[in-house]
Chains A and B, each alone.
Chain A
């Protein structure tokens, strides 16, 4: 069973990755993650915002209200310097984990 810590780790990586290209509001973050993972990773409102707020408190992302072209106020999030710094080792960590799991699966299938 995948523990809460692992789930949170992957979710953080997903959010940091989509914010790498620029600032996005919550709905866009969820939408983009879903699109980029072809629906394999989905964030609902209930799973997204507590995590975003926690990441904001940790200083990984920063939210600020912005007014879009259609006059709608949205809270847009962008990566902080700490968030950018965390992204690279987090990516490496997860990539190593997946490589290890793939190797294990190959052995199991052989």
Chain B
């Protein structure tokens, strides 16, 4: 059996799409040729004849190359990386921020990320202490798995890999990490900086509250979505 990917790659050498997109087109067409070949073999054709019949589906490779280029490149307004990674990531980030702000407006009590008497609440004890067992932070954490799953879904729908899905899903935590690191380095340069900004949780607590715990919730959503999608795909196949 020939190396179908190699064959298609050679024939479409001048396709000139983005590297990733070109690989996808080649893999898809090679898969089609392989399935055709296998079906012909099942019908009893000899290997050579099956290969020839499969390849004869394309009489003019340069014409096919031109048509594929026209269909994919000319009307394409968004490259695959944008649709699989950046767009879902920013949607996830926006959804997480909107959720947090919305819970503040709904009148839930602020937690360590409190929106009303922020600094007072922080200095009074933050996440675990204080009179409010269920605060906006807790509710936000409960919503984050859905936000993570949304990012994974958008990435997967655009053809993203598991890596793209994970990055898209946990992107808000990565953004928070960047902000925390900037704040910590800025606070460290102030005279009383660290104590003012991060007390009483400390740098580790701050990273846990803003990055690790939300990140774990987002990742949970991504993994649950991934497992469900995998099960669904298996059942369809």
Chain A residues proximal to chain B, CB less than 8 Å: 22-23, 25-27, 30-31, 44-46, 48-51, 53-54, 57, 62-70, 72-75
B27 close to A (CB within 8 Å): yes
Sort chain B's interface into a size bin: 20 to 34
In the complex, which residues of chain B have a beta carbon less than 8 angstroms from the beta carbon of A22?
236
Interface residue B49 (Cβ < 8 Å from any Cβ of A): no
Complex contact B60–A46 (CB within 8 A): yes
With the chains together, A57 CA to B75 CA distance in Å? Answer: 7
Closest to A23 in B: B236
B52 close to chain A: CB less than 8 A:
no
Q: Kindly provide the distance from the CB of B54 to the nearest chain A CB, expressed in whole angstroms.
A: 9
Contact A72 B75 (CB under 8 A): no
Within 8 Å CB of B158, what residues of A? 64
Instruction: Give chain A residues whose Cβ lies under 8 Å from the Cβ of B36.
Output: 27, 45
Q: Which 8 A-B pairs have the closest CB atoms?
A: A50-B67, A53-B71, A44-B57, A68-B237, A69-B237, A27-B35, A57-B75, A54-B71
Q: Which residues on the B side are within 8 Å of A23 (C-beta)? A: 236
A64–B60 touching, CB < 8 Å: no
Enumerate 22 A-B pairs (CB-CB under 8 Å) in ascending A order.
Answer: A26-B28, A44-B57, A45-B33, A46-B57, A46-B58, A46-B60, A49-B28, A49-B32, A49-B64, A49-B68, A50-B70, A53-B71, A53-B72, A57-B76, A62-B157, A64-B156, A64-B159, A68-B237, A69-B234, A73-B31, A74-B28, A75-B27
Query: How far apart sit A64 and B24, CA to CA, in the bound complex (Å)?
Result: 11
Closest B residue to A55 by beta carbon equals B71
- Chain A proximity of B8: nearest CB distance (Å): 9
Query: What string of 1s and 0s marks CB contacts (under 8 Å) between B19-60 and chain A?
Result: 000001101110111011001000000000000000001111
**A53 with B31, Cβ < 8 A, contacts A23-B236, A46-B60, A66-B233 known:** no
Taking beta carbons and an 8 Å cutoff, which residues of B are in contact with A?
Answer: 24-25, 27-29, 31-33, 35-36, 39, 57-60, 63-64, 67-68, 70-72, 75-76, 156-159, 230, 233-234, 236-237
Cβ contact of B24, chosen from A30, A51, A66, A75, cutoff 8 A: A75
A50, A65, A75: the one contacting B68 at CB < 8 Å is A50
Contact A65–B32 (Cβ < 8 Å): no
Rounded to whole angstroms, the CA-CA distance of A69 and B60 in the bound complex is 34
Q: Which A residues are in CB contact (< 8 Å) with B67? A: 46, 50
CA distance A75 to B29 in the complex (A): 10
Most buried by A among B28, B60, B76: B28
Find chain B residues with CB under 8 A from A72 CB.
Answer: 31
A31 to chain B, nearest CB (A): 8
- Closest residue of B by beta carbon distance from A29: B32
Q: Which residues of B contact A31 (CB under 8 A)?
A: 39
Contact partner of B29 (CB less than 8 A), chosen from A49, A51, A63, A69, is A49
The complex places the Cα of A72 from the Cα of B58 at a distance, in Å, of 23
Q: Tell me the complex Cα distance, A50–B60, Å.
A: 13
| B237 adjacent to A46 (CB under 8 Å) | no
Apart from A26-B32, A66-B236, what 6 extra A-B contacts exist at CB < 8 Å? Answer: A46-B58, A50-B68, A57-B71, A57-B72, A72-B31, A73-B27
